[in-house]
Amino acid sequence: MKLQPLLIAFFASAFVFSQEHSHKSSRILVFPDVPGYRTLKTDLHQHTVFSDGNVWPTIRVMEALRDNLDVISLTEHIEYQPHKEDIPHPDRNRSYELALQEAKDHDLLIIHGSEITRKPPMGHSNAVFIQDANTLLNDKAEDSFAESKKQGAFVFWNHPAWHPQSPNGNPILSDFQKERIQKGELHGIEIINMGDYAEESLALALEHNLTIMGNSDIHGLIDWDYTEKGHDRPITLVFAKEKTQESVKEALFAGRTVAVYNSLLVGKKENLTPLLKACIQIEKAQYINKTSILEVTLKNVSSSDLIFENQMPYTFYSSSPVFTISAGETKTINIKTLERKDGLTLTLKALGAYVAPKVQPIVEWEIKVEE
């Protein structure tokens, strides 16, 4: 009988261990593919103890698998190394190598990346799809960016509205950044970093044709910094031709992205509108008895709560013109068409989405009425 507590403890430990390594979360990130492209969920700005983060690289892989991500990059500061006395690593590629090893048996792409860290006005930038992080370590920032370009890297400007870089909270496009853009050494910009969405950064993205990015910039644990606070991690949706590093890189350079944080979606119109359209499926469209009130049931197949406002000439019956379809849930709206129709165009404004500062996209679905 004395063995019974030991056996219980053993099986309990085994259960916990299996749960910890199941790589499943209670709330995974899900977004549908769009016509012609696969929708890949990425987080290309993360840190570990190999720069100023608090976890080992393997944890970042496990977190990504739990969140159902497709692509990640561990972008360690190559200049800023606060843990180097405890974890000396002369090879700046080490974090990437450990993550790559952890992910080898999983369907997760690990992109080689590093963060180029300088004081304003140069600020912080991530170079991803690099070949060797060590050669990015240079005295002059210009040389680091030139080396990134030489390696074929995609480079984006991190948290441009971050107050240590910009005291008034607005991004400052310095002559340094302008020169990098002109030389083809800066290709994207973070619109969303951690919980911050900067409209001014979106304006810069549109003005200079920079790829729109959203990333967690995680240093601690995703569970502690996001999940336990009721948030999803910020991510960049990349619309790629296939799930390969080459295809992800091509899509980033082409600017086919949408930044997502909870129910906030930000992207260029040509990318965001097809995504929103794909997120909503028409499950039912049928008139109620002999009335001219059309009952339409919509299903949200994404992991973001989506907020819409009616933009049709027809009003709703017994419901508000503004409504939310929760992630993975359905919503029935009743449309007063005044006369019975064979079909109509459902036209809604996506209130939680932006294609420009304060500009929300209009999305249309063609509905065929059931008999």
What is the structure's pLDDT at 19? 44
Are 114 and 75 in contact by the 8 Å Cβ rule? The answer is yes
Residues of the chain with pLDDT under 50: 1-20
What is the structure's pLDDT at 324? 98
What is the structure's pLDDT at 164? 73
What is the structure's pLDDT at 161? 83
Give the span between the Cα atoms of 233 and 280, in whole angstroms: 22
In Å, what is the CA distance from 243 to each residue of 120, 240, 300, 346? 36, 7, 24, 32
What is the structure's pLDDT at 7? 44
Domains, the chain, with CATH or none:
25-262 (3.20.20.140), 278-368 (2.60.40.10)
What is the structure's pLDDT at 22? 53
pLDDT, tens digit (0-9, with 9 covering 90-100), for 60-95: 999 999 999 999 999 999 999 999 999 998 999 999
What is the structure's pLDDT at 319? 85
Side-chain half-sphere exposure of 366, counting CA atoms within 13 A: 1
What is the structure's pLDDT at 13? 43
What is the structure's pLDDT at 199? 96
**Which residues touch 11 (CB under 8 Å, ≥6 apart)?**
none
pLDDT, tens digit (0-9, with 9 covering 90-100), for 281-314: 999 999 999 999 999 999 999 999 999 999 999 9
Give the span between the Cα atoms of 229 and 244, in whole angstroms: 33
pLDDT, tens digit (0-9, with 9 covering 90-100), for 210-227: 999 999 999 999 999 999
Are 131 and 112 in contact by the 8 Å Cβ rule? The answer is yes
What is the structure's pLDDT at 140? 95
What is the structure's pLDDT at 165? 72
